[in-house]
Structure 1
Amino acid sequence: MPKKLVVVCLLNFFIAALLGLALRYSFIDPIPINYRFLTHTHSHIAMLGWVYLMLYTLIVHYFIPVKKTVFNKLFWLTEIAVLGMILSFPFQGYAAVSITFSTLHILCSYYFAYLIWKYHKTDSLVTRYLLRASLLFMLLSTIGVWCLGPAVAMAGQASAFYQIAIQFFLHFQFNGWFIIAVIALFFHQLQLQDSTLFRLFFKLLIAATVLTFALPVYWFAPHVILLWINGLGVLLQLAALFMFLKLIRPLLVMVLKDQSKLIVYLYSFAVFCFILKIVLQSVSLIPEISKVIYLYHNFVIGFIHLTMLGVVTGFLFSFIIKSNLVRMNKWLYIAVCTFLFGFVLTELTLIIQGCMFYLKQGMLPNYYLLLFLFSVFLPLGIFMLLFNIITHKNHGTQITKTT
Structure 2
Amino acid sequence: MSFIHRISFERWTFLSFIILAFFGAILRYMLCYPLHGLNYMNILHAHSHYAFGGWVFLALVILVNRNLQRPVSASMKWLLLFALISSLGMLVSFSLQGYKVVSIAFSTLFLLATYWFAVITLPRLRLKDHPNAVLLIKAGIWCLVISSIGPLALGVLKATGNTGAIYQNAIYFYLHFQMNGWMLLTALGLVVKEYLSAGRSQASVRPWLYTFILSTFPLFIIFTLWSKPFPWISELAFIIALVNAVSWFGMMQKMGGLLKGLPLLIRIALLAVSLKVLFQILVCIPQVGQWTFSNRNLIIGYVHLITLGCVTPVLLHLFTRKLQIKKLEMLYISLVVIYLVLLFIQPLLSLYRISIPNYQQLLLGISVLFCLSGLCYYIKLFCRPQTRKFTSQPFNISLQNNFNL
Structure 2: tracts of 5 or more residues without a match:
1-5, 391-396
Residues 1:249 and 2:256 aligned together:
yes
Tell me which of 378, 390, 395 is aligned to 2:382: 390
Tell me the equivalent position of 1:260.
Answer: none
Give the structure 2 partner of residue 40 of structure 1.
45
Q: Distance in 1 between matches of 2:161 and 2:352?
A: 35
Shift of 1:376: 1.7
Aligned counterpart, 2:394: none
Equivalent residue number for residue 291 of structure 1 = 290
Among 131, 136, 140, the residue aligned to 1:130:
136
> 1:5-20 counterparts in 2 under 5 A?
5-20=9-24
1:373 partner amino acid: G
Q: In the aligned structure 2, how far is the partner of 1:3 from the partner of 1:316? A: 20
For each residue in 1:204-229, what CA deviation from the matched residue of structure 2 results, as whole angstroms up to 9, or x when unmatched? Answer: 11232123211211212511121121
Would you say the 8 A contact 2:194–2:402 is kept in 1? no
**Counterpart code for 1:316:** L
Residue 112 of structure 1: how far off its partner (Å): 0.5
Residues 362 and 35 of structure 1: CA distance in aligned 2, closer, same or farther (over 3 Å) = farther
Instruction: Confirm whether residue 110 of structure 1 aligns to residue 115 of structure 2.
Output: yes
Shift of 1:131: 1.6
Residue pair 1:299, 1:351 contacting (<8 A) in 2 also:
yes
Q: In the alignment, is the contact (CA less than 8 A) between 2:43 and 2:95 conserved in 1?
A: yes
- Which residue in 2 is equivalent to 1:24? 28
Q: CA deviation at 1:127?
A: 2.1
Work out whether 1:153 is the aligned partner of 2:167: no
Which residue number corresponds to residue 259 of structure 1? none
Alignment correspondent of 1:345:
338
**2:231 is the alignment partner of 1:235:** no
Report the more deviating stretch, 292-301 or 342-351. 342-351
Q: CA deviation at 1:306?
A: 0.7
Counterpart in the other structure of 1:317: 316
What is the TM-score when the length of structure 1 is the normalising length?
Answer: 0.90
The answer to whether the aligner puts 1:269 opposite 2:261 as a matched pair is no
Contact residue 69 and residue 400 of structure 2 kept, 8 A: no
Matched-pair contact (CA < 8 Å) for 1:12–1:49: yes
Structure 2 Cα separation of the partners of residues 243 and 7 of structure 1: 38
Distance across 1 between alignment mates of 2:48 and 2:23: 9
Equivalent residue number for residue 401 of structure 2 = 400
Q: Flag structure 1 segments of 5+ consecutive residues without an equivalent.
A: 257-263
For residues 120 and 65 of structure 1, the distance between their equivalents in structure 2, rounded to whole angstroms, comes to 11
Question: How far apart in 2 are the matches of 1:223 and 1:192?
Answer: 45
Could you tell me which residue of structure 1 aligns to residue 85 of structure 2? 80
Q: Give the superposition deviation at 1:388.
A: 0.7
> Is 234-243 or 306-315 further displaced after alignment?
234-243
CA distance in 2, matches of 1:75, 1:100: 18
1:376 to 368, 373, 380: 368
Q: Give the superposition deviation at 1:3.
A: 9.4
Query: 1:160 and 1:12, CA in 2 relative to 1: closer, same or farther beyond 3 A?
Result: same
Using the TM superposition, name which of 309-318 and 346-355 deviates more.
346-355
> Which residue type is aligned with residue 369 of structure 1?
Q
Check the 8 A contact 2:133/2:193 in 1, yes or no. yes
1:364 offset after TM fit, Å? Answer: 2.5
Whole-angstrom CA distance in 1 between matches of 2:117 and 2:366 = 37
Q: How many residues align?
A: 385
- My pick for the range that moved more, 63-72 or 293-302, is 63-72
Name the counterpart of 1:261.
none
* Partner residue of 2:209 out of 182, 202, 212: 202
The equivalent of 2:393 in structure 1 is none
Native 8 Å contact 1:337 1:381 kept in 2: no
Deviations 1:116-143 (A, max 9, x none): 0123331132122212111111111110
- State whether residues 336 and 381 of structure 1, in contact with CA within 8 Å, keep that contact through their aligned partners in structure 2: no
Q: Are the counterparts in 2 of residues 186 and 315 from structure 1 also a CA contact under 8 Å?
A: yes
What SS is found at the alignment partner of 1:30? coil
- TM-score (normalizing by structure 2): 0.90
Counterpart-to-counterpart distance in 1, 2:243 and 2:204: 14
1:364 aligns with 2:345: no
